[in-house]
Amino acid sequence: MAPADVPRPDTDGPGARRAAAARRPLPRRLLFAAGGVLAVAGGGAAVLGLRGRGGGDRDDPQAPPFSAQFGDSGLVTNEYAYRHPGAAGARVDADWSVTSGSLFARDGDGWTGRPDTGETGTDSRSATDSAVFRLVTRRRDFADVTVRSAILLHRPVSTPRTPRQDYDGGHIWLRYHSPEELYALSFRRRDGVVVIKRKVPASDAAAANGGDYTTVEEARHAFSYDAWHTVTATARNEQHGVRLRLEIDRRTVLSTLDTSPGPLRRPGGVGLRADNTELLFRAFTATAAS
């Protein structure tokens, strides 16, 4: 398939660029003491923070908090490591999976690199492939959770394989079970809309990476490029559904109750998505929602 014909994965448009790769068990590379991480062996960046118990489907709103910090510079992990975790030179990270694109450390921040398309190889030197950036925690035990991060976005671009779309920008993932099942909270899109969407598996082969998006709530909200903003996203189970809230710079811009959540009442991963944009983030935390 020619590069211009390769569709974009996990987007609002049809088609999937690649099938999800099977994940293999990872060796334990962390030393724990008093519930915290003392060291991370190997890799291009040190990742410190509290790690929780292994993922699962239990409804545990008090899962241990997660906090990520990055070293000065270097590749943390990329899509190659996700697809080939056992390959020589694969940059597998203990905390993060990148299903598309590349995750770097830059001056202590997490960074997508400059968005382009192409095969990353083991080191993402020839291409980042971060025009389609998908980042999720390996942990899947976040139930009632609040994710907070400082985020900086550059103005969206486009490439021959990733043409301009209204949804180009930055998004937070909650209750991530798979590329087909998750909540996406869009805090900055090219069209200026903030959106909460639910994605569930679909039988339609033309669905976005095997799933269908449903808009739960949307509005308009200003979010300047090339400036740091605090973005907070919360999912909390209530009697009749899942309460979802999106805050930007500590102002609530969306709050809604998803009354048709189905399996998304269960715990899952958290993460970030970026489309056709360069994204930096720092002070990324996931804590139990009160």
Q: What is the pLDDT of residue 282?
A: 98
Q: Which residues of the chain have pLDDT under 70?
A: 1-62, 205-208
Compute how many other C-beta atoms are within 10 angstroms of the C-beta atom of residue 250: 10
Using an 8 Å Cβ cutoff, are 84 and 90 in contact? yes
Q: What is the pLDDT of residue 207?
A: 62
DSSP at 80: H
Torsions phi, psi for 188 (to 5 deg)? -155, 110
Total-model pTM: 0.80
Give the count of alpha carbons within 13 A of 163, CB side only.
Answer: 5
Cα 20 to Cα 9, 80, 179, 210, 275, distances in angstroms? 10, 12, 8, 10, 18
Q: What is the pLDDT of residue 210?
A: 78
Q: What is the pLDDT of residue 43?
A: 38
φ/ψ bin of 49: left (φ > 0), alpha (ψ from -120 to 50), beta (otherwise) = left
Structure tokens at 201: 């598996």
Alpha-helical segments (H) within 15-94: 79-83
Considering only CA atoms, give the Rg of the chain.
18
List domains and CATH numbers for the chain.
3-14+45-288 (2.60.120.560)
